[in-house]
Each structure stands twice: as structure tokens, then as C-alpha cells.
Structure 1
């Protein structure tokens, strides 16, 4: 079925303009990105089949260039465009937390950390460095490890915090297993970091653990 045979209100672009982007399905959003279908398949059908083939919209977005480009209807140009869109999304979220108080923008912070950490295949330890108004000065991945662990060195975190003249930090790391529940090792390293940073009057405000569909906050658990 061609798109011309569909009622106008069913077309993704018109639906977005009338109802907003949140009203669209994953396939409809992807259809707007792809713009055109292939012979015998309209763009909505193509989008739906691609999502089913990859397993989810997220899996499609995080696929390698080789895997992405081997599917009919996709190619290098689409892959490059997609990576640009994903990077713009990350930068948008980064600006959202940089413009204001990271603690007052907790949901933005969680979304940003999820975008930065969730799809990593190895565990990564991330630090947000904050000024005395809890605004973000800088953020960086400080340590990377294996599929289930990353060695974290408090001395290095203290050095970077002092270099940024930070008054506080927010810690984060991912669990590639997808399970966000913090381990005893996570709690121990958080205490060690809090103690080490406390010696130079830098507070640890929170530690987020990013899983598949959940982000656990140490502060919300009462652990900080």
C-alpha cells in the first residue's frame, strides 16, 4: 500500500504536526527519518520491518555501520545522518543540565547519563564536576573496564576535581548486564570516593547506576 492511499491524519509527518512527536509510534518516527520506502514497500512498512528485524528502535540506533548498512533501504548516508541525530540528542541533554542546577534537573541528568552510558558494552565510570551552585563545569568518562567491572582510582578523581576547581561531583557508571541494582563493590567505592573527596572539601552529591531500563540513585536510596 502506498502512502498516498492513507488518510492524511495517518501520515507520520501530518500526525506529528497535529498531535506532537510523542503521539507517534517507533515505526512512524523512523519513517520520518528514512523519508522514503523501497520498491513494493512504503516507508512505514519498511520502518516497521526494520524495527522488528533489529528487535527495537534502540537496537537499530546502536548497531554498527556494517550491520546497519547491510539492510535494504539503509546505507552509509542514512547511517551518518543517524549518528549525527544521536550526537545532537546527547549534546541537547548535556546543555539542559549545564544550564541549570544538576540536582534540580534530576530527570534531565538521568536522561543524559542514560544516553551516555546505557549502550556501552563495557563498564564505564563517569563523573560530573559541579561548581558551588551545583552547575556542571565538565563531565568525562574517567575509567573503562570489562563487561562487568571497571577499576576506579579515588586519587585520579580527586586530581580531576581539583583541576576543574569543582565544589561537588555526581558519579555514574553503567551495568552492561542491564541490571541497575548497585553491588556491594559499588557502595564501597562510593564511600571511598566520598572520603577521599571530603578531605579536600568536595562533596559527592549522588551516584547513579545505569541499567537497561532503570537508573538507580544512591541519594534517593539514602546511601549518600
Structure 2
């Protein structure tokens, strides 16, 4: 009992200036741990634990921050100390992080190589458990001016229709498009369906005057460019 009480009092007895919110103000968010940042989002804990301890428990339950970000709403609200509001706030925070990672600021370097696309999108797509077909829309200088998830689920040429891809490209006045999708298996090797979709989209792009620059498949930290593979 004494040990448990001591552990529970560790955070409660931390000086005012060393608590997560105060530490953020004092040293900046970049110097805070995942647990501290999550504790700030949670704001409050339970009757028997602080927000910091609740954050520790969540990260331990789902192994790490990435695991927690993939948790469903139902999984979160089943946990003691996490109600509807906290679950919604965490979903919103993680989604903002994904969006910020996925779309570069205009000041960043333009897309020149498939590696640039992979570096940009692996953090967003590699962890997903379903296939997401995403388009990056570029201007004449190859800066990304927009991003759109066209479809979620197993890819099929009848579902990933050129109309949806190039409707968005035209709406954004894009000069070119890069398509990509993830393989939840972690293996980015293109399937026959992937190759067929690529040919269809490339031909459609030629008709409307918007080039399909590449189709990149994202795996677990790896990627395959169908342009580099000779399918363009």
C-alpha cells in the first residue's frame, strides 16, 4: 500500500513549474514527452490518478502513441477515465497531426522525385489498416496545392474512377497529379489491379490535359514508384 501511495503522489507532489502545462510554457512543447503532451490534452484524470498517470496508462495499454492514435472510439470509451468528450478530443488532436504531416507548407521544396512523395506520405499512410487511395494535386512548379482521399477500402478499377480523381484536379486548377495508396500488409509490391488503375488514370489525364506524374504505393516504411518501375 505504501508503494502504491508513493507512486500516486509522484506527479501530485511535483513542483508547480514542473507540471506539463507549466513545463510547456517554460521550455516549449518540443521538449515535452508523449505522456506530458497527452496529459495536457486529457486535462483531468480520475479520482485515483492524475492526468499524467492516465496518459501513462493509455500509452501503456496501446503500446505507444501510434497505437493510441489507431484506437477506435469504442476502444477508448471502454477505458476508465475516458468518456465521450476525452475520446473525441484525442481523435481530433491525432487527425490534426496527420493533416499537418500530410500536406507541406508552400515554403517547402517542390516534389521532384518519388522519394519526396514517400517522405511526405509514409507517416500518414503506413500505419493505416485499410487501403486509402490519395491524390496530391500540384501546380506548375510541382508544389503540393491540395490533397484528397478519393477512396477507402480494397482498390478496384470500377471504384477508383478517373472522374473522381480529375474532377478534384480540375477544381483545384492543378497542373498535375500524383496518386498513391497504402498496402496494409506492409508490402508495397504493386498488384495487377494497381497497374491497371495506373494505366487508366494516365490515359484519362492525357485526355483532360492534367498529367499523372506517378502512382506511389506505400508499405511499412517502404514504397514503390510505378514510374520508376517502368509503367509510365
Alpha-carbon distance in 1 for matches of 2:38, 2:167? 44
Name the SS for the 2:85 alignment partner.
Answer: helix
Counting matched residue pairs gives: 219
Higher alpha-carbon Rg: 2
Runs of at least 5 residues in structure 1 that lack an aligned partner in the other structure: none
Seen in structure 2, the aligned counterparts of structure 1 residues 181 and 18 have a Cα distance that, compared at 3 Å, is farther
Given the alignment of the two structures, is residue 61 of structure 1 paired with residue 105 of structure 2, yes or no? no
RMSD of the TM alignment (CA)? Answer: 3.7
The match for 2:14 is 6
Map Cα deviations across residues 37-83 of structure 1 (whole Å, 9 max, x no partner): 22332332221111111233223233222221121111111122223
Matching residue within 15, 36, 40 for 1:32: 40
Q: Distance in 2 between matches of 1:67 and 1:174?
A: 24
2: CA distance, partners of 1:220 / 1:55: 37
Q: What is the SS of the residue equivalent to 1:166? A: coil
Matched, 1:218 2:225: yes
Matches within 5 A, 1:98-177: 102-103=110-111, 110-111=119-120, 114-115=123-124, 117-118=125-126, 120-146=128-154, 149-151=155-157, 152-154=160-162, 157-158=165-166, 160-162=168-170, 164-177=172-185
Confirm whether residue 182 of structure 1 aligns to residue 189 of structure 2.
Answer: yes
- 1:43 is matched with which residue? 51
Summarize deviations over 1:136-170 as a string: whole Å, max 9, x none. Answer: 45432333333xx4433446545554555432101
SS in 1 for 2:48: coil
TM-score between both structures, scaled by the size of structure 2? 0.71
